Amino acid sequence: MRLVSAEPTFKEVTLSAPSSAALSLAAKTIRVLTADAVQAAGIGHLGLPLGCAELGALLYAEVLRHDPLDPSWPDRDRFVLSAGHGSMLLYSLLHLSGYALELAEIRRFRQLGSKTPGHPEWGVTPGVETTTGPLGQGLANGVGMALSERMLAQRLGPELVDHRTYVLASDGDLMEGVASEAASLAGHLGLGRLTVLYDDNGITIDGPTSRAFSEDVARRFEAYGWQIQRADGHSFDELRSALSAARASEEAPQLILCRTEIGRGSAVAGQAKAHGSPGDEVLRGVRERLEWTHPPFVVPEEARGVFAENASRGRRQREAWQQRLEKARGDAARAELLDALYGRKLPENLEDLLPAFSASTSAATRAASGQVINALAPSVPGLVGGSADLAGSNNTTQSGESFVEREQFGGRNLAFGVREHGMAAAVNGMALHGGLRPYVATFLVFSDYLRPALRLSALMRQPVIYILTHDSIFVGEDGPTHQPVEHVAALRTIPNLEVWRPADAQETAYAWIEALRRDTGPTALVLSRQSLPGLEGVTQDGVCAGAYVLVREPDAERLDLVLVATGSEVHLATAAAHELNASGHSVRVVSLPCLERLLAMDAEARDDLLPRDVPRLGIEAGVEQGLAPVLGRADAFHGLSSFGESAPYEDLAEHFGLTPSAVLEHAKAILARG
């Protein structure tokens, strides 16, 4: 195992260095600002900002290539605070570096509407690269950012893409399984521009890590394929040496184990109580121990000056990059590619590029999705993605395109292995990085494995596309462990996630169009394993609205019943409606590919589609909660209230009453009640 401390075996890279006295002042300022903010809020995490003050000061004063005047500069280095509970470290650094984060916002730490929430949030605070707090997620985001950098450098060249990703991770981050999944993938791909700084302080909320965590982290990461270094986290010289060595190597991702003291500079340094809110007495004592004489929230100008030179250097680097960008844009083909990648510009004729589906097309919607991907991908160069070892079943592979591999980042297909959680967290990082439009896939039943990352996609408004196939008990013989029952309902509870469950190939194609055009949040495409016949009456406008009349009631003056269905069950509804209407009833079928779009309609349009005084029967091969928003107390539901069974899917349909005849009998019972 290669362990580097004072004498790294890598080629050194010289980093400009403020004096040790200046860096020490910066670290002291971070500690006092943290204590002031936590004391003013009455709550907050003290330990990490105090323990990692030297590390943070060195990164922002010397190492990071960034420009506080342009936080979204595409070729900046990325810094991810995976241990998001230590948010005051990041807020202090952003303020001192000159980002648009005023001291007034530091005073309002953790208050309603402030730019300094309890955990960093993307889109709220300038300079925050991702929303962190759920441990392990930030590290996995960093893997996705580093992967995007390599893929874009292959496409655009090092003159436009030449940056690095740094992650500060805690003991808790490294205990979480998602971090292990992502770190394994990073090592496999050899993402040598990724550096993780491990805040190795031996303390968690409940006490010493030795109570539950005794593995050799260095050896674990070496087994993943990472290069390992060690440094005293309070020594500028050792940290500088380790970071310089990391920058000199691009063979593998870097893990620097930084031995630190949690809560350094406070009366509870090295103790578990330093992690959270230690109380006013301890917070006041930080100033005394550090011999700080300035009033609360007063920052000496010389502390800001420590960061000024690196910020100025970053501005010059950004300006030089912009000149190279303008030169590149002089080539029409490169300009078009840049617009497609960084501007997420889509062809205006997306609809014309779709496969020729019609009412005569019979296909599993997962197969139709695969055809759509391959039809659109040549015209959407940023579209990249893959599956958690189920590409053949999820139909996610782009034909004629290679898979991304170590030192071969020009491909568009991604193999994530059996790592659902790490996959979803990594593509959040890819989406946040910009330049690529990722999609990922697995079976719907395994959406539980990636749900925490999917939730963060929605919270951060990232347009990740989730392809979730094998969408019901019609998975068949694999049985209830693989048959999703509650999963569609569960997904629909996530704010800002659009869940699409198309009923045939045409609806699938239009759902894909909407997913690509959506840039304010993620989309889940819930797709069938089994083949479904084409439907008459599918329209793009109807599908894009989220719900539309597929079968119109024969009597324009009378509406007896509305059948509302999604996915494969739309076919049950249409069969039942045709028989009912042939026998003198006046029944409407509403196809509901996207409940969220229906709920976003204005009340008049929704009431026109689903009149309040007309009974409804909701039909879905899942639990009732999935359609609850469209079912009133007097309305009925036809679906499941239990787990599935292991059997051929045709037998399961009969057993659970998911057949046209069963829906027909249920509808007749409602009509009989008047």
Q: Tokens 């005073």 — which residue?
A: 107
What is the per-residue pLDDT for 476?
96
In angstroms, the CA 549 to CA 131 distance is 40
φ, ψ for residue 369, nearest 5 deg: -60, -45
Q: Are 238 and 13 in contact (CB under 8 A)?
A: no
Count of alpha carbons within 13 Å of 217, Cβ hemisphere only?
31
What is the per-residue pLDDT for 482?
98
Annotate 94-162 with DSSP letters as a single string. Answer: HHHHT-S--HHHHHTTT-TT-S--SS--TTTSTT--S---STTHHHHHHHHHHHHHHHHHHHH-TTT--
Tokens representing 331 are 């080539």
CA 450 distance to own-chain centroid? 10
Collapse the DSSP code of 281 into the 3-class scheme (helix H, G, I; strand E, B; otherwise coil) and give the result. helix
In angstroms, the CA 205 to CA 212 distance is 12
Domains 3-313 and 350-532 share a fold: yes
In angstroms, the CA 226 to CA 174 distance is 14
Burial of 210 (0-12, 13-18, 19+ CB in 10 A): exposed
In angstroms, the CA 125 to CA 34 distance is 17
User: What residues contact residue 347 under an 8 Å CB cut-off, 6+ apart?
Assistant: 353, 379, 380
In angstroms, the CA 299 to CA 657 distance is 70
**In CATH, what number does 546-672 get?**
3.40.50.920
In angstroms, the CA 662 to CA 658 distance is 7
Point out the residues of the chain with pLDDT beneath 50. Answer: 1-14
Q: Tell me which fold the domain 350-532 belongs to.
A: Rossmann fold (3.40.50)
What is the per-residue pLDDT for 607?
96
What is the per-residue pLDDT for 16?
60
Domain map (residue ranges) of the chain: 3-313, 350-532, 546-672
Q: What is the pLDDT of residues 74-115, one digit of tens each?
A: 999 999 999 999 999 999 999 999 999 999 999 999 999 999
CA-to-CA dists, residue 6 to 55, 234, 630, angstroms:
16, 14, 65
Residue 93: name the closest of 137, 139, 62 by CA: 62
In angstroms, the CA 118 to CA 179 distance is 22
In angstroms, the CA 527 to CA 508 distance is 8
Identify the helix (H) or strand (E) that includes residue 371: helix 365-376
Count of other CB atoms within 10 angstroms of residue 557? 6
In angstroms, the CA 188 to CA 39 distance is 44
* Residue 121 falls in the annotated catalytic set: no
Tokens representing 133 are 């707090």
Q: Tokens 């958690």 — which residue?
A: 388
Identify the helix (H) or strand (E) that includes residue 622: strand 616-623
Identify the helix (H) or strand (E) that includes residue 206: none
Per annotation, catalytic residue among 420, 507, 569, 596: 420
In angstroms, the CA 48 to CA 56 distance is 11
In angstroms, the CA 241 to CA 607 distance is 67
**In CATH, what number does 3-313 get?**
3.40.50.970
Count of alpha carbons within 13 Å of 152, Cβ hemisphere only?
28
- pTM for this predicted structure: 0.96
Count of other CB atoms within 10 angstroms of residue 399? 9
